[in-house]
Structure 1
Amino acid sequence: MLRFVFAVNVLLFRFTSCLLFDEHPLNSTVQAEGAVSLTCIVEYKTNDEIQYDMKWKKDEEYIATNGNIVDNLKDSSHFIVTIRRSSTRIKFDLVFVSVWNTDRGFYQCDVFKTENIVLASTKAFLDVIQIPGDKYPLCTASKDVYTEGDDVMLFCVSEYTEPAVTLRWNDGATHVVEIVHGETARLQKRLIANPDLNGYKAVCSMTNEHIPDLNRTCITQPLTIYYKPRVCIPQTGLISAGKQAFFICDTTANPAVTRYTWLTLPPLDKTEYNIDNTGHILMLSNPTMKQDGTVITCTAENRIGTSSKNVTLTIQSDTVTSAQDTVIINYNGNNKSRGNNTVNKETSTGLSTDVIVIIIVACVVLLVIIVMIPVYYYCLCSRNITTNQTTTIVHQPEVYFEPRDRMTLPLPRTRDATIWRRSFAAQAPDDKEVDAMYLEIQSNHYIYAATSRSNTMR
């Protein structure tokens, strides 16, 4: 056995002693859609007339030989192979024009002689930072239509890549990514169908820490949730006797409500109420005290189910008020039959609105008076002090006289004499009645001008 092993080693040495790799393929890292090349160089002796064949192998499967690509990879034009021969060496290249995600793996260059491998290079790992296809991520739902109470399954799907992408629902919830058959990565989200989810859209984002520019999102189609009607009667049952009252059956439903039904307990006569054409409005035309305590129920129906809402009537009569108390007569038939209603009197101890307003106004007036009194005295004292310091008051007499003299010139062709007149003015108090303020008294004094006719006074 040892002899056999030794003989094989000798033969291999004879064949390979003159054949060796000058360059082995090297490990490389490239982003998808980028370019990269792997090269191996073989050297041999000049006198070696043996014809060698070169082949590239990926993950234990040959993909190219010499200058040809394996037949089943002819459509893979994203890479080419070239071979250059000389008398002492062979250069064999594997060139990727555009790297695919599937190109990630181990590559090896092998040398063949007459279909037998005689030399193999070391393995080189081509690490591809894979990018999911343009159609990813995909947001889908498990069904098109859900009924209230169903499980809702939402999926965010991406192509499986290395390094793996990160899928995340934008509502902040944390979920586990599931790898499906080693080809796709799927992120799921589970919800319980309810009316609030009708029209809901979920957003999923896809990122990769090794590819900063990669940030894509997808949105699910709006959810369609079928649910039975939600019923609400916004009006209260407190109404006044003799006044019209309306009750509206307000609903939300999917699909739409197909029928409304109104019931009264105890039953009312059909002449006592009306229902509009749509069926969701009931009107009491003339409420009476005998209708107090009646329960009115609205029922809405669609093909998913029915829902109801009721309101109890409380009929108010006219209120009797006085200055001291207010007596309200309530008819309550909850505990006894309608024929034996009891009358309860409630005395109101609260003040009326008018009394409260009057009290408030009085308080405001009193407050203003209290504030104005010190202000008034302050201003009055200030005036007195200022007047005494800066002015002197001189009191005038009640009556005073102001004499005034004048002279009346003589008329032409009269004697040379001038009449001298004296007048005075008298000021009288306002409370005395005086016909004239000025009194003129003619005196008997004359001034003569014998030698002159110029009518001037000397």
Structure 2
Amino acid sequence: MLSILCTTIVLFVNFTNCLLFDGHPSNSTVRAKRAASLICIVEFDTTFTSQYKLKWKKDGEYIATGDIVREDLKIQHNFIVTINEDNNRPKRIIYNIFFYSVLNSDRGFYQCDVFGNNSLLLESDKAFLNVLQIPHDKYPLCTSYKDVYTEGDDVMLFCASEYTEPPVTLRWNDGVTHVVEIVDGETARLQKRLIANPDLNGYKAVCSMTNVQIPDLNRNCTTQPLTIYYKPRVSIPQTGLISAGKQAFFICDTTANPAVTRYTWLPLPPLDNKEYNIDNTGHILMLYNPTIKHDGTVITCTAENQIGSSSTSVTLMIQSDTRNDVTVKSQTKDSVIIDVNENNKSHGNDTLNKETSSGLSTDVIVIITVACVVLLVIIVMIPVYYYCLCSRNITRNQTTTIVHQPEVYFEPRDRMTLPLPRTRDATIWRRSFAAQAPDDKEVDAMYLEIQSNHYIYAATSRSNTMR
């Protein structure tokens, strides 16, 4: 019994010594979505290789036995396994795993094993398939934490990518760069933090994705425009320097999101309602007749929306008319002189007032009189002008009258040649004629030439008429 066991051990040792790998799979680096291949070559001690089984395993798990892929990998597998004999060396087997489109998940350590009688006989060296992984086409993704922010809020923006080996680099358009780390085991993410303010309303951030080992990998994404709610920004572009007696307008200029819902104007000290007006929109105020007493008045406009309200003010500086001041001073001086000359009698002032009033009344009367005369002249000239320019009988030479010559033609009334009369007492020769008067509206007169010797008179007839 012992001899039989020893013989078996010797045969087994000889058997394993003749079974060996003539070629081990080697490390390989390949870019995702491209083809790759791993090969191991086994040399057997016999031509009856069917008694052996070859298997491929990845990261310690078998994925194929012979040329059959594991059942749970058949649906998603992207590789095939082949077994080929070397024609020149029948005991030599080439075992190949071929990836026709390498995926990111194919990255790992691969090994070729030989089994005999369900026992592991040989293991090849491990080969590392290094896949330059490319993120899915949907990456990078740019998102924001919220759709709407209010002024003063923290704005959180994110740029995310699929985690790959080697890792990608994400960069914001403002130059902030970060080599991303794993988040939730599958996603790499870059964050951007801002403080919401009116200038960020409509802002869009751009993020780029690159990989130093894949030069042509360069993708971008853009966040949705930010919506920032803020209270109104208010300004009054007009200055407070205005002339006395002239209307003045003040506009309350605002920018806000959402829109302004109410405008409020507040003058200090308060003005009478008859001294100013506010338009229907509420953001324009008009002073009717500013005077010196309004100098120093502060006018404040307040705009309000659902976020809050803001105000701005302008101070009135009334500029008087220098010419009017001189006139007033002159009149005052004259009044004083009159009062002195008249020994401060009241009738002196009355006389001045009467003269001034009379002077003003005279000016008004003269203006009205001149206006009436001009109006009367215009009324009289209109028909004359019309008659002179529009009359049909206008001519430069008033002594010459133009008379138009009509076309005259003769025709017998019955279109027959009349017989000559034999006796003057029995026949009357009547001759008919017609004249074609022009229908021109400018023709008011015409003349006809008629030869009287064409008429034959009968001594006993009273019908010597011409037609």
TM-score (ref. length: structure 1): 0.65
Match for 2:215 among 212, 216, 224?
212
> 5+ residue gaps in structure 1?
1-7, 323-458
- Please say if residues 298 and 308 of structure 1, whose CA atoms lie closer than 8 Å, have aligned partners that are also in contact: yes
In structure 2, give the amino acid aligned to 1:239: I
In structure 1, give the amino acid aligned to 2:288: S
What's the counterpart of residue 448 of structure 1?
none
Per-residue CA deviation, residues 182-206 of structure 1 (Å, 9 max, x unaligned), is: 3222111111110000001111111
What's the counterpart of residue 16 of structure 1?
16
Per-residue CA deviation, residues 315-372 of structure 1 (Å, 9 max, x unaligned), is: 12123699xxxxxxxxxxxxxxxxxxxxxxxxxxxxxxxxxxxxxxxxxxxxxxxxxx
Relative to structure 1, the CA distance from residue 161 to residue 12 in structure 2 (aligned partners, 3 Å threshold; closer, same or farther) is: farther
Q: Say whether residues 1:101 and 2:104 are aligned partners.
A: yes
In structure 2, give the amino acid aligned to 1:265: L
In structure 2, give the amino acid aligned to 1:108: Q
Q: Say whether residues 1:286 and 2:289 are aligned partners.
A: yes
- Which whole-Å CA distance do the structure 1 matches of 2:47 and 2:272 have between them? 122
What's the counterpart of residue 231 of structure 1?
234
- Please say if residues 170 and 177 of structure 2, whose CA atoms lie closer than 8 Å, have aligned partners that are also in contact: no
- Which whole-Å CA distance do the structure 1 matches of 2:251 and 2:264 have between them? 12
What's the counterpart of residue 327 of structure 1?
none
- Which whole-Å CA distance do the structure 1 matches of 2:311 and 2:78 have between them? 68
- Please say if residues 148 and 229 of structure 2, whose CA atoms lie closer than 8 Å, have aligned partners that are also in contact: yes
Instruction: Name the structure where helix makes up a greater proportion of residues.
Output: 2
In structure 2, give the amino acid aligned to 1:203: V
Identity fraction in percent: 74
What's the counterpart of residue 319 of structure 1?
322
- Please say if residues 177 and 188 of structure 1, whose CA atoms lie closer than 8 Å, have aligned partners that are also in contact: no
- Give the CA deviation at 1:170: 1.7
- Give the CA deviation at 1:28: 0.9
- Which whole-Å CA distance do the structure 2 matches of 1:59 and 1:66 have between them? 18
- Please say if residues 20 and 43 of structure 1, whose CA atoms lie closer than 8 Å, have aligned partners that are also in contact: yes
Alignment: residue pair count? 317
- Which whole-Å CA distance do the structure 2 matches of 1:52 and 1:61 have between them? 19
- Please say if residues 176 and 188 of structure 1, whose CA atoms lie closer than 8 Å, have aligned partners that are also in contact: no
SS of the residue 2:293 aligns to: helix
Instruction: Name the structure where strand makes up a greater proportion of residues.
Output: 1
- Please say if residues 25 and 122 of structure 1, whose CA atoms lie closer than 8 Å, have aligned partners that are also in contact: yes
In structure 1, give the amino acid aligned to 2:272: D
Per-residue CA deviation, residues 214-241 of structure 1 (Å, 9 max, x unaligned), is: 2111111111111111111111111111
- Give the CA deviation at 1:176: 5.6
- Give the CA deviation at 1:307: 0.8
Match for 2:132 among 123, 126, 129?
129
- Please say if residues 68 and 81 of structure 2, whose CA atoms lie closer than 8 Å, have aligned partners that are also in contact: yes
- Please say if residues 175 and 188 of structure 1, whose CA atoms lie closer than 8 Å, have aligned partners that are also in contact: no
SS of the residue 2:96 aligns to: strand
- Which whole-Å CA distance do the structure 2 matches of 1:9 and 1:26 have between them? 33
What's the counterpart of residue 247 of structure 1?
250
What's the counterpart of residue 93 of structure 2?
90
SS of the residue 2:263 aligns to: strand
What's the counterpart of residue 195 of structure 1?
198
- Give the CA deviation at 1:135: 1.2
What's the counterpart of residue 62 of structure 1?
62
In structure 2, give the amino acid aligned to 1:102: S
- Please say if residues 167 and 179 of structure 2, whose CA atoms lie closer than 8 Å, have aligned partners that are also in contact: no
> 5+ residue gaps in structure 2?
1-7, 326-467
SS of the residue 2:139 aligns to: coil
